[in-house]
């Protein structure tokens, strides 16, 4: 890891820095149909820097063994690297203890874990879970499932036409039967940042715990779980330059301690007899079976990479890109930005009158520009805006203004083809 | 660019902007809903079948240029066809969509303008949504058909 002094002052980030960062990502040299790849689908998944790729290769070449089991050297080495990565996650989100960092497959599994192990045993018929109208399906469906299992009711905080979380509605809906608030930190479909500090403060004042879906937020803004005082925080490694198949559930130790395990199996037990099983301590109680060891170590490498640049510098760079792109698309006739919240990050969702997002996506791809077209796993958001889908460009640290220019010229080509 | 022009031909734009038979068919005796969960496209196909012949058909819904044009072209191609002909036609059509450089198939008639889809595998589902929905309508399956 670089020392603190090497981290760029956020205001000093230039296009040249972004170009330098690009060189760390080998896939960005790919050509698509003769065009250099312009990867603007970062909200779906981010590309991986050399250091993350190398960490997986090194793990399988020099370290591979099962963790927490062996007396042999490799097992010790694997365990040390796996646990060191947990420490990196802890520091990255400023958790009080590495015991509060549970490795999972991704955000989806983290939320399902909380739904089944935390919420389900505590819910009675008529109890309520409060989410928002801009959740990803992974922060809707696990709650619908637990509601079906328990007779609890799902309540939904509305959003306004700009795609902003309506705090009035939230305060109205949070009532004596509310048992949990589960909201996104940053909307994947709209780019809106939810005022989570106020949400948490109000929920806690009413004795209600809060889970934050940090799948999008984690790569774009500093996350300090102790300053936020959230009860659970969920995120995926692959959205922050790490491997797929590894993610994190942060939970306050007192809550995690009081929860039932999510799955039973090896590693999550202390002793097993046919009469009785004693569960392992945190965090292992929630990590049944052989985990994604290489993935966890790769995630640690990704967080090292992000720390070396500095999340504040990344946020400033991405914000400048978003502002630039927002200004430039204004020239395109019929283009409408979906999601115009005052507080946004990294995501530009839009429609063009008379042109379906899928057609936009195909024509852009033909020029090497990768965007997402569709409902972004947030169909209720699309319904809220009366749309089947949107086109979405989403930015990461390695994107440049030149790439935004490429996006704009590709969009002009869409117009040319459709307005012939 | 040539692939793109091949995909987005004038005929396709014409059918996208002015889709034929795009309305509810009041006299329909078969209908089904189709859904592409990848892009959210949704359409309903309506059929009037008399003595094994499709005497009239229509569709209603919203979609991309490819799915709308394909639905529109399908309604033109199938009016007056016997239902036992439909399956063979769909097989030929599907083969054309999934086989780049497939030889010309005169039996497909105007549907040949969709041949460019074969260079864009991600769009095959757009071009076949109306056809899958039609098959479902012919079988009188009431549950919506999905491309997934």
Which domains occur in chain B, in start order?
A: 2-141 (3.90.1010.10)
Same domain, A23 and A161: no
- pLDDT score recorded for residue B146: 65
Is A96 an interface residue toward B (CB < 8 Å)? no
The whole-angstrom distance between A404's CA and the closest CA on chain B is 21
Residue B141's pLDDT band, with cuts at 50, 70 and 90, is low
Same domain, A91 and A220: yes
Same domain, A379 and A411: yes
Which of A359, A362, A388 minimises the CB distance to B40? Answer: A388
**Tokens in use for A291?**
């985990």
Lowest mean pLDDT among A329-333, A357-361, B6-10, B11-15: B6-10
Alpha carbon distance B80, B57 (integer Å): 9
Check residues A9 and B51 and name the one with the higher pLDDT. B51
A263, A291, A307 — which closes off a domain? Answer: A307
Alpha carbon distance B56, B145 (integer Å): 21
> Strands A232-236 and A247-251: what pairing?
antiparallel
Note whether A232 and A250 are within 8 A (CB): yes
Contact B7 A362 (CB under 8 A): yes
The whole-angstrom distance between B73's CA and the closest CA on chain A is 18
* Nearest chain B alpha carbon to A372: B39
Which of A358, A382, A418 minimises the CB distance to B126? Answer: A358
Q: What are phi and psi of B63, to 5 degrees?
A: -165, -170
Low-confidence ranges of chain A (pLDDT < 70): 1-8, 420
Alpha carbon distance A264, A269 (integer Å): 8
Is the confidence at residue B148, as pLDDT, over 70? Answer: no
Same domain, A111 and A29: no
Average pLDDT over residues B71-98: 95
A276, A307, A338 — which closes off a domain? Answer: A307
Residue A330 DSSP one-character state: T
Among the listed residues A340, A355, A343, A346, the one whose alpha carbon sits nearest the alpha carbon of residue A391: A355
* Nearest chain A alpha carbon to B120: A362
Note whether A47 and A243 are within 8 A (CB): no
**CATH number reported for the structural domain that contains residue A399 in this entry:** 3.90.1150.10
Q: Could you tell me the residue range of the domain that residue A249 belongs to?
A: 54-307
Which of B7, B40, B126 minimises the CB distance to A389? Answer: B40
Same domain, A286 and A322: no
- pLDDT score recorded for residue A5: 46
Same domain, A154 and A282: yes
Q: Which of A357, A365, A388 to mutate to test the interface with B (most CBs of B within 10 A)?
A: A388
Same domain, A233 and A283: yes
Same domain, A241 and A261: yes
Which of A358, A366, A375 minimises the CB distance to B64? Answer: A358
Which of B61-71 are b and which e, b meaning 16 or more Cβ less than 10 Å from the residue's Cβ? bebbbbbbbbb
Among the listed residues B45, B3, B10, B34, the one whose alpha carbon sits nearest the alpha carbon of residue B143: B34
Alpha carbon distance B130, B45 (integer Å): 7
Alpha carbon distance A376, A357 (integer Å): 12
- pLDDT score recorded for residue B147: 64
Q: What dihedral do alpha carbons A406, A310, A5, A20 form, nearest 10°?
A: -20
Alpha carbon distance A201, A230 (integer Å): 9
Q: Rounded to the nearest 10 degrees, what angle do helices A357-365 and A401-418 cross at?
A: 120
Say how many domains are in chain A. 2
In this prediction the ipTM stands at 0.87
- pLDDT score recorded for residue A277: 87
- pLDDT score recorded for residue A9: 74
Alpha carbon distance A133, A118 (integer Å): 23
Same domain, A252 and A387: no
pTM here?
A: 0.93
Q: How far is CA A417 from the centre of its chain?
A: 35
Secondary structure element (H or E) that encloses residue A60, with its range: none
Note whether A280 and A220 are within 8 A (CB): no
Mean pLDDT (chain B, rounded): 90
**Tokens in use for A224?**
């300090």
Average pLDDT over residues B15-43: 91
The whole-angstrom distance between A363's CA and the closest CA on chain B is 7
Alpha carbon distance B71, B57 (integer Å): 11
Rg over alpha carbons for chain A, rounded to the nearest Å, is 22
Same domain, A180 and A149: yes
Contacts of A379 in chain B (CB under 8 A): 40
The whole-angstrom distance between B38's CA and the closest CA on chain A is 6
Contact B8 A379 (CB under 8 A): no
Same domain, A235 and A183: yes
* Nearest chain A alpha carbon to B8: A417
A307, A338, A363 — which closes off a domain? Answer: A307
Among the listed residues A393, A179, A388, the one whose alpha carbon sits nearest the alpha carbon of residue B36: A388
Same domain, A11 and A88: no
Contact B1 A366 (CB under 8 A): yes
- Tokens 């460009």 belong to which residue? A393
């Amino acid at each position: 890891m670089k020392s603190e002094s090497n981290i760029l002052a956020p205001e000093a980030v230039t296009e040249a820095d972004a170009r330098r960062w690009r060189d760390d990502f080998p896939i960005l040299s790919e050509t698509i149909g003769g065009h250099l790849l312009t990867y603007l689908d970062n909200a779906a998944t981010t590309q991986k820097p050399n250091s993350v790729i190398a960490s997986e290769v090194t793990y399988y070449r020099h370290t591979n063994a099962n963790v927490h089991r062996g007396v042999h050297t490799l097992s010790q080495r694997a365990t040390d690297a796996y646990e060191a990565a947990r420490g990196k996650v802890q520091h990255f989100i400023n958790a009080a203890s590495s015991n509060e960092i549970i490795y999972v497959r991704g955000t989806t599994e983290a939320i399902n874990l909380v739904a089944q192990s935390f919420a389900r045993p505590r819910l009675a018929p008529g109890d309520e879970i409060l989410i928002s109208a801009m959740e990803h399906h992974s922060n809707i469906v696990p709650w619908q499932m637990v509601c079906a299992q328990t007779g609890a009711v799902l309540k939904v905080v509305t959003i306004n036409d700009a795609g902003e979380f309506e705090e009035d509605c939230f305060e109205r809906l949070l009532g004596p039967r509310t048992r949990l608030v589960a909201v996104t930190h940053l909307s994947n479909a709209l780019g809106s940042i939810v005022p989570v500090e106020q949400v948490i403060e109000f929920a806690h004042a009413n004795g209600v715990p809060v889970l934050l879906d940090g799948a999008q937020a984690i790569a774009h803004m500093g996350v300090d779980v102790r300053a936020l005082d959230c009860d659970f925080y969920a995120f995926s490694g692959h959205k922050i330059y790490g491997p797929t198949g590894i993610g994190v559930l942060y939970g306050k130790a007192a809550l995690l301690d009081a929860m039932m395990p999510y799955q039973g199996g090896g590693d999550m037990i202390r002793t097993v007899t046919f009469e009785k099983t004693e569960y392992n301590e945190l965090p292992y109680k929630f990590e049944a079976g052989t985990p994604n060891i290489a993935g966890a170590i790769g995630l640690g490498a990704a967080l090292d990479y992000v720390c070396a640049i500095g999340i504040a510098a990344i946020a400033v760079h991405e914000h400048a890109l978003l502002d630039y792109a927002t200004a430039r698309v204004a020239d395109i006739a019929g283009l409408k930005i979906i999601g115009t919240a005052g507080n946004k990050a990294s995501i530009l969702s839009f429609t063009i009158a008379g042109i379906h997002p899928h057609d936009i996506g195909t024509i852009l791809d033909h020029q090497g520009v990768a965007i997402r077209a569709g409902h972004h796993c947030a169909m209720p958001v699309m319904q809220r805006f009366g749309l089947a889908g949107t086109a979405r460009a989403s930015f990461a640290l390695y994107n440049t203004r030149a790439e935004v220019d490429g996006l704009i010229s590709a969009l002009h080509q869409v117009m040319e083809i459709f307005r012939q | 660019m040539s692939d793109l022009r091949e995909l987005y031909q004038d005929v396709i734009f014409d059918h996208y902007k002015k889709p034929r038979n795009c309305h509810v068919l009041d006299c329909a005796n078969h209908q089904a809903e189709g859904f592409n969960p990848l892009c959210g496209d949704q359409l309903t196909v309506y059929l009037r079948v008399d003595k094994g012949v499709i005497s009239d058909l229509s569709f209603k819904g919203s979609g991309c240029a490819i799915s709308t044009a394909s639905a529109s072209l399908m309604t033109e191609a199938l009016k007056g066809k016997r239902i036992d002909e439909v399956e063979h036609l769909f097989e030929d059509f599907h083969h054309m969509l999934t086989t780049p450089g497939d030889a010309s198939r005169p039996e497909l008639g105007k549907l040949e303008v969709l041949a460019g889809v074969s260079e864009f595998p991600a769009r095959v589902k757009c071009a076949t949504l109306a056809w899958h929905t039609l098959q479902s309508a012919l079988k009188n399956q009431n549950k919506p058909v999905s491309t997934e």
